[in-house]
């Protein structure tokens, strides 16, 4: 199966240009927020307050994702400052988005005196479906692809010459890493939304941590295939961050479970 982007532009209305990248991000937000609101009702959380928190988290996530990407790509943006705000061209880092969204959501919950961990659990349970949809924005932009593959590879992505890195000008087909991550994110959504969040709702923060662990695990397998990763000291920055996040998340899961059991008297001996 061959994937080939029809182009980055979704619609042109006079001077206004709407790109697929923005459409996919917006669609992902709407679907995820709708799902989060439904889960909130099941977990006896006010859906209206949850939606407000999700919106603030989304804005913080976009800002964090861009700042993170610009910071790691500063040698380029230092000489091209006009591109710093050009997010329609791509360049939103998921890791930066998680950091920015978490901070924004926590500040909102603190100001509104809401249980931050419970809100984080609901939002993070739905977040992967937004990421699964949003990754298709990379497809339309012909970006975030993997290493070259043979012309008869079962799943291959055609990349136009203008979007290929110089070392790969002679290659037509590449790993559709956007698709790999989209599928992984969708599977993670099913696990978090239908299994972990409802079954472990008394463990505040567990779903959020499981989200961090699950996303990081998938990224560890997919990132080595990428040819456009930001490199720091000879290592792929997203890979290093994902590995560190996964380790911390696993440790945190044990801490949350143990703390909850002790608070409920399950860990005491008789």
Give the model confidence (pLDDT) of 204-230 as tens digits: 999 999 999 999 999 999 999 999 888
Nearest residue to 184 via CA among 146, 149, 222: 222
Q: Where are the alpha helices (DSSP H) in 43-93?
A: 47-72, 74-77
Structural tokens at position 26: 């917006």
CA–CA separation, 152 and 137 (whole Å): 25
DSSP 92-111: --HHHHHHHHHHHHHHHHHH
Give the model confidence (pLDDT) of 2-22 as tens digits: 999 999 999 999 899 999 999
For the cut 50, the answer to whether the pLDDT of residue 88 exceeds it is yes
CA–CA separation, 143 and 177 (whole Å): 9
- Please compute Rg for the chain using Cα positions: 20
For the cut 60, the answer to whether the pLDDT of residue 52 exceeds it is yes
Q: Could you give the percent of the chain with pLDDT greater than 70?
A: 97
CA–CA separation, 249 and 226 (whole Å): 24
pLDDT value for 269: 42
Q: What's the whole-number mean pLDDT along residues 233-254?
A: 95
State the pTM of this model: 0.92
């Amino acid at each position: 199966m061959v994937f080939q982007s029809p182009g980055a532009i979704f619609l042109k209305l006079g001077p206004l240009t709407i790109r697929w990248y923005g459409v996919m991000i917006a669609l992902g937000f709407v679907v995820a927020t709708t799902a989060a609101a439904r889960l909130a009702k099941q977990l006896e959380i006010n859906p209206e307050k949850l939606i407000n928190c999700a919106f603030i988290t989304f804005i913080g996530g976009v800002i964090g994702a861009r700042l993170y990407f610009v910071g790691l790509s500063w040698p380029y943006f230092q000489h091209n400052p006009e591109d710093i705000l050009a997010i329609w061209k791509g360049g939103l880092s998921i890791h930066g988005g998680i950091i920015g969204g978490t901070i924004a959501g926590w500040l909102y919950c603190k100001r509104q005196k809401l249980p931050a961990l419970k809100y984080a659990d609901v939002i993070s349970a739905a977040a992967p479906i937004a990421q699964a949809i949003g990754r298709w924005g990379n497809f339309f932009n012909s970006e975030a692809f993997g290493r070259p593959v043979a012309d008869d590879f079962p799943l291959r992505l055609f990349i136009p010459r203008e979007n290929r890195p110089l070392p790969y000008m002679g290659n037509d087909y590449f790993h559709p890493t956007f698709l790999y991550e989209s599928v992984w994110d969708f599977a993670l959504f099913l696990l978090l939304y239908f299994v972990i969040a409802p079954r472990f709702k008394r463990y505040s923060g567990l779903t959020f941590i499981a989200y961090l662990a699950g996303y990081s695990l998938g990224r560890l397998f997919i990132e080595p295939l990428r040819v456009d990763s930001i490199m720091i000291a000879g290592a792929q920055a997203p890979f290093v961050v994902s590995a560190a996040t996964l380790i911390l998340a696993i440790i945190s899961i044990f801490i949350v479970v143990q703390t909850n059991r002790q608070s409920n008297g399950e860990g005491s001996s008789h």
